[in-house]
Amino acid sequence: MKKGKKVRTVPPVKRIHYFGRLGSRRTRFSVDRLGGKGASLAYMRSLGLPVPPGFTITTEVCAEYYDRGQKLPPGLMDQVEESLAKLEKEMGKEFGATESPLLVSVRSGAAASMPGMMDTILNLGLNDQTAEWMAEATENERATYDAYRRLIHMFGDVVMGVDHELFEDAFAEIKSKYSVVDDTEVPSKGLRELVGKYKQIYKKNTKESFPQDPRKQLRLAIQAVFNSWNAPRAVRYREINHLHGYLGTAVTVQAMVFGNLDDCSGTGVCFTRNPATGEDKLFGEFLVNAQGEDVVAGIRTPRDVQEMAEWNPKVLEELREMKWVLEGHFKDMQDLEFTIEGGDLYMLQSRRGQRTGAAAVRIAVDMVDQGIISQEEALLRIPPQAMTQFLLPSYSSSDKEGSDVLTRGLPASPGAARGKLAFTAEDAVKRAEAGEDVILVRRETSPEDVDGMHHARGILTSTGGMTSHAAVVARGWGKCCVVGAGALSINAGKQTVTVDGKKFGPDDTLSIDGSTGEVMEGEVDHSEPELSGYFGTVMEWGDEHRALGIRANADTPEEALRARNFGATGIGLCRTEHMFFGPGRIEAVQEMILSDSTRAREKALAKLLPYQREDFKGILEAMKGFPVTIRLLDPPLHEFLPRDKKRQDLLARTLGVTPGMVEERVEALEESNPMLGHRGCRLAITYPEIPVMQVTAIVEAAVACRRAGIRALPEIMIPLVGSVKEFALLRDLVEQTIEDVMKAENYSGNLQIPIGTMIEVPRAAMTAGEIAGIADFFSFGTNDLTQMTYGFSRDDINSFLPDYLSQGVLDKDPFFSLDQTGVGRLVALATSEGREGNPDLKVGICGEHGGEADSIEFFHGIGLDYVSCSSFRVPVARLAAAQAALRIDGWENSD
Amino acid sequence: MKKGKKVRTVPPVKRIHYFGRLGSRRTRFSVDRLGGKGASLAYMRSLGLPVPPGFTITTEVCAEYYDRGQKLPPGLMDQVEESLAKLEKEMGKEFGATESPLLVSVRSGAAASMPGMMDTILNLGLNDQTAEWMAEATENERATYDAYRRLIHMFGDVVMGVDHELFEDAFAEIKSKYSVVDDTEVPSKGLRELVGKYKQIYKKNTKESFPQDPRKQLRLAIQAVFNSWNAPRAVRYREINHLHGYLGTAVTVQAMVFGNLDDCSGTGVCFTRNPATGEDKLFGEFLVNAQGEDVVAGIRTPRDVQEMAEWNPKVLEELREMKWVLEGHFKDMQDLEFTIEGGDLYMLQSRRGQRTGAAAVRIAVDMVDQGIISQEEALLRIPPQAMTQFLLPSYSSSDKEGSDVLTRGLPASPGAARGKLAFTAEDAVKRAEAGEDVILVRRETSPEDVDGMHHARGILTSTGGMTSHAAVVARGWGKCCVVGAGALSINAGKQTVTVDGKKFGPDDTLSIDGSTGEVMEGEVDHSEPELSGYFGTVMEWGDEHRALGIRANADTPEEALRARNFGATGIGLCRTEHMFFGPGRIEAVQEMILSDSTRAREKALAKLLPYQREDFKGILEAMKGFPVTIRLLDPPLHEFLPRDKKRQDLLARTLGVTPGMVEERVEALEESNPMLGHRGCRLAITYPEIPVMQVTAIVEAAVACRRAGIRALPEIMIPLVGSVKEFALLRDLVEQTIEDVMKAENYSGNLQIPIGTMIEVPRAAMTAGEIAGIADFFSFGTNDLTQMTYGFSRDDINSFLPDYLSQGVLDKDPFFSLDQTGVGRLVALATSEGREGNPDLKVGICGEHGGEADSIEFFHGIGLDYVSCSSFRVPVARLAAAQAALRIDGWENSD
């Protein structure tokens, strides 16, 4: 006992909770005090369900046990005796009697599920004498001695610390002696022998005999459960999962019931609804004349729970009734354990059932229709991520069965894809256009690969993280993508990829799963998406509750249309740089970059103008009536020039300059840290002719739309602003250009184009009040803001991120879920100071975090106007935003 | 006049300030109202000094003039008449009289010196008649008509807007007609002709005759001065120099005195003390029988003002007396203009004299001794930068005379250096060791060049900014360095550098000036440093006032010793990575990096341990009794591997591995943005064996020192921390290592080693409260903090910085002077929240800004404990810190 530490003393009345006919107290069945298991049993019993009686020693006693230096509190065992006496009376059996004795199970159970602690000990109370009686009474010597040897093994191992290998070795000897392989083949005679051996092992290692006194068994078992709370595995589990503040574990002692008494007995497990599809029908299995663990052990093949209709329709009907009682009270789909003893049904467990995303959606909607839960409750319990399952082709586990998983990368963009391997973007384009399904396999991708990525069915890279180029682009398109599959060794020159000792070439097929990161050999089947009515219902309910607007990041009319289909009410980020890579465009871009005068650059830009105008027109049309935030050119210019000598020479020939000139310009543009280099608004300030061309294209497109009766609502966003002066200079330029173009177009309509900025440089956040004074909107670029606030290059983070995650330095990848403490504080500060500087400021976020549920809750909490995310995350965002509103702002319960 | 704008109306009493015997009002000679020139004349007059009388129309009138749409306020000219009447009375002459007329000068003068406005018009009042009389009376026809033609030219050009080229063309014609080259050779006849031509030009272009009415001349001249306030050049000048809030310009009308009346007359300019050395002796020149502009024009060679002793000792004595009067009142060294008319001295100007840094120091100290100013005033008026002039060899302007300045780069590290050219680090080392003086010439430098840089006399690069690798390293050593000299075209392979059409090779000599950035051809003389008594006095005075501690950034015992000599009382940043490059070390470092197991890395690190221990021992000894903050390894590992194939192959041979392995490792370590990559504490977390070795070396060194009776005070600093978890993990590791080593060393002394962190990642600043809870100190790494807060890579910023500065987006390079608004706000926030988290937290700064005066004032203002800078900036920092304390906290004036 630690000096000076105060010892808790739990009052006797709070130490033990009895559940049963006799003396069950009506109380709040506190999960904190009784543990999950104890509370569920007590609750079921209080509902009048048939639960074998028993009692639970509370978690507070466990805390007192530790306060006292691992000693049972004085008087506890007296109270256990009292409860035991009640139990004996209720069951009409005596604990420790020679004939027809009361047997009990002892189970641990904390408030949260916690692997690593001791599990159940069954059949406590068995000893040599009671075993003899039972073998005879049940006419099942084998089962009796099998139970007895299990008791000694488990008790010896868990309670007394005897090395479990000693027991296993002895079992192996017996099997060898009887020349059998499976445990179940050992005859009852062998099991009797084994019990003898086990008792010897027990005695040799504990210096005492296996306790024949059931009371001693019980006391030691209770202590063992308490001790297991601080077993290293349990402590580690709590650390990893940040489970703090728990008192300890409860101990439940419960009368045994026997599913293996006769052919009117049985045991089973079932879900109250189908956990895979959500269908409202009991789903599970049972075994006649069997004990609980047999179902799990797979010794006999269990039967579908629905087949109970033939065996014992009354029990099935009872189960169905209990389903409604339990769901009505727990207000959720349940995972049940039950035993039938001589035709009577007993409930041994009822807990929340695990389910797939699709099932979660269907169950939630059905339960609202059935009046079990409110719409709001339904919305809150669907994992937002589940919504994506409705949008994409996917592998089911049966699809994958038998397939060879070669390795696993990061699940960068969900979906299923299969195809032959293309090792260059050009090859992917060529073969896709010839009708072939290809997977583009690259070490990493760059903007030059975009066309090939677009043509491929899926993208697979060996480097890069969740926000690498490949990942971001693929997510934007909803294209299946696996990145950072480090086990792949790619040789693009030889067109081979080697993994796990196998080599694949252009004619081999791989299948990738963007939801799990799995890379599989050959062609694996998958199912196409189906937007069912459940999806629509949930989205509709959510939209009624959310405060955040949901926009999408989209760069093409097709993406914009898809975003609208998925429910986006605006484009929050339309990147213009991807538009620079199409054929006919990239040449003009390169010509512009290689020009050495403003006039020459303007000439090259003039060639781009018509393309850009058409791009913008298409997107504005697709989003008619909804705002489209167009970001001016952002990446550094070197991204548009070829890096390899061969393509540089080709470019020189195309432009009619010397190869040396191209090489020199590429070198001059090279940067040590391109992320922090000459890009964003810095480009616009040094080469104002670029934004002038882009703004011209935007205004011309908008005017053309308006004249065609289409309500185009463009917004112009200036990237990478770090100071109010940058923004002021460029705002003037943009406004002047808008005025000039409207004059040139002779358009006098009311074309109010809001001009705002991305907040992605920490300095912009720190000076947001100033910037907001002259900005119409802010959009947080949380990707770059995270990079700069943490000082993490997302392209390089993989060299230390795994260590950071495994050592707990980071809880999660900050590029996936917003770092609320650091980056989030900047976002909140900039939002509030921005609004002080300009009360009309519209504030949104367009980084990857716009589609992640925890981040969305944060954004709702600080009062942003909207989030913008890739179109495939729009449904996730819609639901997450509704949940955030419900959680933070609460709601009127309609119950 | 702008609609709705309120028109100021200046009350008549405030419109004009008369200075002279008659009616001079005692008033505050407000520079804001009278302008610099007007206030100085009025002030001198009020002191009883001989100033030709006159009057000043205040700046407020200029503002009213603009409020009224560029119209003179009603009644103004009536008041001018009143003042003119006083002036006529005082001078006994009449403005516009045919004989012995009153002539006046009209001068502009705003509160701040402001080039671009109209300057002086002399001799106003001259017309055809008065010119005739003067030519006769002065017996100097030539001078009279020269003055008259100047009046017409200047009046026509400035007042009436006649193209000045028309006047110049006419002058050229006259010179050609008289076959002379210089203006002064034109005979008086020619000048009479020229006056005629000028009057024709005037009439042709203004449609009126040159005004013969002196009153008209005066009114037009006053308006012209007001108009010149908004001349484009003046407006631009105010914009560039951020001169806001000024009312306008004043107009001073002053009676002319004539230095060219006779041989008892003359004119001159002088400083009250030597502006180059500070010596307390009049310094200037004069001309007998001449007018003001002749001294400047260089027509005749002026004589040293001291020679006046021979010509007119009374005047010299008067000048000396005036010096004391003026210095006593203006409390500073003055720059004087004077004219002697018939033996009488007149003062025409007295303003603060410009001076060199060395002079500023000597003058300030002398003035304290002379009781003119207080110590505090003296400290406040010395530009801190001046202190560096005492520390380094330097070129005087006479040294440079006749030298050929080839180009100018950035003055990265002050000093003078000359030598033959070395194009590689190896060559520099080899030739320097052979006794040659070399300048290392590189496009840019990298850590691999450090040894060569160390051996060179000076460093010259064609790329990179003030905080590039070359600049930072050179400043640390106080080695002369010029960077970013973009005009240099360097071909390292051919060992040539081409600039300005000239080509230089390894046997050619260049001289570079690290204080100006100049690159000169050949060997230019320079003078060696001399720490005079003045330097010591100023430093001593400053130390009495400053609150900030001053530490130095130093990596070697020599640097540490120099830092102590310069007054540092601790090392604020001892970088350990430079220590990794010495011979015998880099091989071990490379072996470590190429190892593929912890054990192999530990083996390689074991080889480094003795070197590191000796490094630390040397520095701790040098700084005995003072703290030494040692930063654990910071840069990414790839910086230690060779980039070129040849050296990679060599490394492979040395280590006995295949060249492919080296190449592969180099590639694997390559990063897209090394600045944001795998470095700093991230290295320490993934390779804990590195900090363990370094901490072991530190503790072993400290123990060895202590045992030898040397009071070693190491502090351990963990770089690039972004979250409290990183710091917690590494603090544990460091503490454990300290304990282990002390145990192994069997040392039981009290070796308290503070453990702190750099705050250089924005996230660290945003979570400083948490981090401070377990840190002993913070040291702001403002270089990296600026990079990440602005999103500026200092290696790449030169692609847009020039545009940013020229367009006013940035006022100054934020890597030179701290961005107080953005980065500074983070520093202030982290300091206050850090101290809340830990009231004992020591807080300093060790970025480049630690040696820059404005930044130091900021750091003092937010209450940091110390600044740390390169040793050569220590004296600057000491003085700047004293100034900050005096400016912000004030002082008891001892006057």
Tell me what pLDDT residue B747 has: 95
Half-sphere exposure of A194 (CA within 13 A, CB side): 31
The yes-or-no verdict on residue A863 having pLDDT over 90 is yes
Q: Is the pLDDT of residue B477 over 90?
A: no
Task: Give the pLDDT confidence score for residue B27 in this predicted structure.
Answer: 60
Identify the CA nearest to B614 among candidates B553, B697, B703, B690: B697
Q: What percent of chain B has pLDDT over 70?
A: 96
Nearest residue of chain B to residue A811 (CA atoms): B725
Q: In what order do the strands lie in the sheet with A104-109?
A: A16-19, A54-57, A250-255, A104-109, A121-124
- pLDDT single digits (tens) A561-595: 989 989 999 999 999 988 898 778 999 999 999 99
Residue B794 confidence (pLDDT) above 60 = yes
Within 8 A of B766 by CB-CB distance, chain A residues are: 789, 821-822, 825-826
CB A508 within 8 A of CB A439: no
Distance to chain B for A12, nearest Cα, Å: 42
**Model confidence at B341: pLDDT above 60:** yes
A796, A806, A823, best to mutate vs chain B, most B CBs in 10 Å: A796
Q: Which of B522, B437, B446 is nearest to B480 (CA)?
A: B437
Lowest pLDDT segment from A39-53, A400-414, A504-518, A637-651: A400-414
Give me the phi and psi of B250, to 5 degrees please: -90, 165
Under 8 Å between Cβ of A801 and A464: no
How many Å apart are CA A601 and CA B497, to the nearest integer? 31
Q: What radius of gyration do chain B's Cα atoms show?
A: 34
CB-based contact B686 A800, cutoff 8 Å: yes
Nearest to B767 among A791, A792, A822 (CB): A822
Give me chain B's average pLDDT, please: 90
What is the maximum span of chain A, computed from C-alpha positions, in angstroms?
Answer: 106
Res. B526: pLDDT tops 90: no
pLDDT surpasses 60 at A895? no
Q: What is the per-residue pLDDT across A669-701, written as a single tens digit (0 to 9) for each?
A: 989 899 999 999 999 999 999 999 999 999 999
Select the more confidently predicted residue: B496 or B297.
B496
User: Residue A115 has what DSSP assignment?
Assistant: B
Q: What is the Cα–Cα distance from A631 to A717, expressed in whole angstroms?
A: 5
Q: pTM of the predicted model, to two decimals? A: 0.80
CA nearest to B787 within chain A: A676
Residue of B nearest to A787 (CA): B676
Q: What's the pLDDT score for residue A131? A: 92
Question: Catalytic one among A270, A846, A849, A869?
Answer: A846
Q: What's chain A's average pLDDT?
A: 90
Residue with tokens 């009052």: A11
Pairing of strands A438-442, A458-461: parallel
Nearest to A686 among B671, B800, B808 (CB): B800
For residue A442, give the nearest of A466, A416, A475, A471 by alpha carbon: A471
b/e map A553-571, b = 16+ CB within 10 Å: bbbbbebbbbbbebbbbbb
Token readout for B540 is 């001593």
DSSP string, A347-398: EEEEEEPP--HHHHHHHHHHHHHTTSS-HHHHHHHS-GGGGGGGTS-B--HH
Q: What is the mean pLDDT of residues B733-744?
A: 97
Instruction: Tell me the per-residue pLDDT of B836-862, one tens digit each, with 9 for 90 and over.
Output: 999 999 999 998 899 999 999 999 999
**Mean pLDDT in residue range A508-519:** 91
Q: State the pLDDT at residue B506.
A: 95
Name the least confident of A793-807, B213-227, B293-307, B741-755: B293-307
pLDDT of residue A24: 56
Q: Which of A729, A758, A763, A771 to mutate to test the interface with B (most CBs of B within 10 A)?
A: A763
| ipTM over 0.90 threshold | no
Could B720 and A791 be called an inter-chain contact, meaning their C-beta atoms sit closer than 8 Å?
yes
Candidate from A678, A762, A819 with C-beta closest to B800: A678
Given the residues B17, B455, B469, B638, select the one marked as catalytic: B469
Assess whether pLDDT exceeds 60 at residue A4.
no
CA B52 – CA B49 distance, rounded (Å) = 9
Instruction: Out of A37-51, A574-588, B778-792, give the one with best mean pLDDT.
Output: B778-792
pLDDT band at A3 (very low <50, low <70, confident <90, very high): very low
- Is the predicted pLDDT of residue B894 greater than 50, yes or no? no
From residue B254, alpha-carbon distances to A561, B156, B749 in Å are 79, 21, 80
Q: Is A246 in contact with A110 (CB distance < 8 Å)?
A: yes
Token pair in block for residue A295: 């179902």
pLDDT band at A1 (very low <50, low <70, confident <90, very high): very low
The H or E element spanning position B132 is helix B128-137
Q: Are B270 and B351 in contact (CB under 8 A)?
A: no
The pLDDT of residue B545 is above 60: yes
Choose among B671, B788, B823: nearest Cβ to A791: B788
Q: What is the pLDDT of residue A707?
A: 96
Proportion of chain B above pLDDT 90, given as a percent? 62
Q: B584 or B850: whose pLDDT is higher?
A: B850
- Give the per-residue pLDDT at B532: 61
Other residues' Cβ atoms within 10 Å of the Cβ of residue B810: 21
Choose the catalytic residue: A454, A455, A469, A849.
A469
CB-CB contact of B521 with B403 (8 Å): yes
The Cα of B766 is separated from the nearest Cα of chain A by a number of Å equal to 6
Cβ pair B657, B743 in contact under 8 A: no
Given an 8 Å threshold on Cβ–Cβ distance, is B685 in contact with A795? no
Buried b (16+ CB within 10 A) or exposed e, B670-708: ebbbbbbbbbbbbbbbbbbbbbbbbbbbbbbbbbbbbee
Cα–Cα dist B537/B77, whole Å: 55
Best mutation target among B637, B687, B763 (most A Cβ atoms within 10 Å) is B763
Query: Which of B809, B815, B820, B825 to mutate to test binding with chain A, by most A CBs within 10 Å of its CB?
Result: B809
pLDDT band at B668 (very low <50, low <70, confident <90, very high): confident
User: How does pLDDT run across B754-784, given as a tens digit for each residue?
Assistant: 999 999 999 999 999 999 999 999 999 999 9
Instruction: Enumerate the residues of chain B whose CB falls inside 8 A of the CB of residue A718.
Output: none
Q: How far apart are CA A135 and CA B805, in angstroms?
A: 96
B729 vs chain A: nearest CA distance in angstroms?
8
pLDDT attached to residue A356: 77
What's the rounded Cα separation, in Å, for the pair B575 and B477?
A: 13
Residue-wise pLDDT for A707-734, tens only, equals 999 999 999 999 999 999 999 999 999 9
Mean pLDDT, to the nearest integer, of A488-511?
A: 92
pLDDT over 90, % of chain A = 61
Structure confidence by residue, pLDDT tens digits, A130-161: 999 988 887 788 878 888 988 998 899 888 88
Residues of B in contact with A762 (CB under 8 A): 762, 788-789, 791, 822, 826
Tell me the average pLDDT across A278-304: 78
Q: Do B788 and A789 touch (CB under 8 A)?
A: yes
Assess whether pLDDT exceeds 50 at residue A341.
Answer: yes
Q: How far apart are CA B279 and CA B584, in angstroms?
A: 53
Spell out the residues 6+ positions from residue A64 whose beta carbon is closer than 8 angstroms to its own: A7, A8, A9, A10, A73
Query: What H or E segment, with its residue span, contains residue B339?
Result: strand B334-341
Question: Residue A585: is it exposed, middle or buried by C-beta count within 10 angstroms (0-12/13-18/19+)?
Answer: middle
- How much is the pLDDT for B239? 76
Structure tokens given for B741: 């080593």
pLDDT greater than 50 at residue B1: no
Catalytic residue list contains A846? yes
Structure tokens at A409: 């990368």
Contact B673 A676 (CB under 8 A): yes
Q: How many CB atoms lie within 10 A of CB B26?
A: 6
Cβ B101 vs Cβ B215: under 8 Å:
no
| Pairwise CA distance, residues B30 & B34, whole Å | 6
Whether residues A810 and B675 touch (CB distance < 8 A) is answered with no
Residue A297 scores a pLDDT above 60: no
Cα(B278)–Cα(B386) distance, integer angstroms = 13
Residue B60 CA to residue A387 CA, distance in Å, equals 71
pLDDT of residue A572: 98
Q: Which residues does chain A have within 8 Å of residue B790's beta carbon, measured at their own beta carbons?
A: 722, 761, 763
For residue B74, give how far its alpha carbon lies from the nearest alpha carbon of chain A (Å).
Answer: 40
- Quote the pLDDT of residue A588: 93
- Cβ atoms < 10 Å from Cβ of A391: 23
Q: Do B826 and A792 touch (CB under 8 A)?
A: no
The string of pLDDT tens digits covering residues B103-121 is 999 988 888 877 667 677 8
Range with top average pLDDT, A309-323, A386-400, A444-458: A309-323
CB A458 within 8 A of CB A479: yes
Cross-chain CB nearest to B673 (options A767, A793, A799): A793
Question: Is B846 annotated in the active site?
Answer: yes
CB A441 within 8 A of CB A415: no
* pLDDT recorded at residue A25: 58
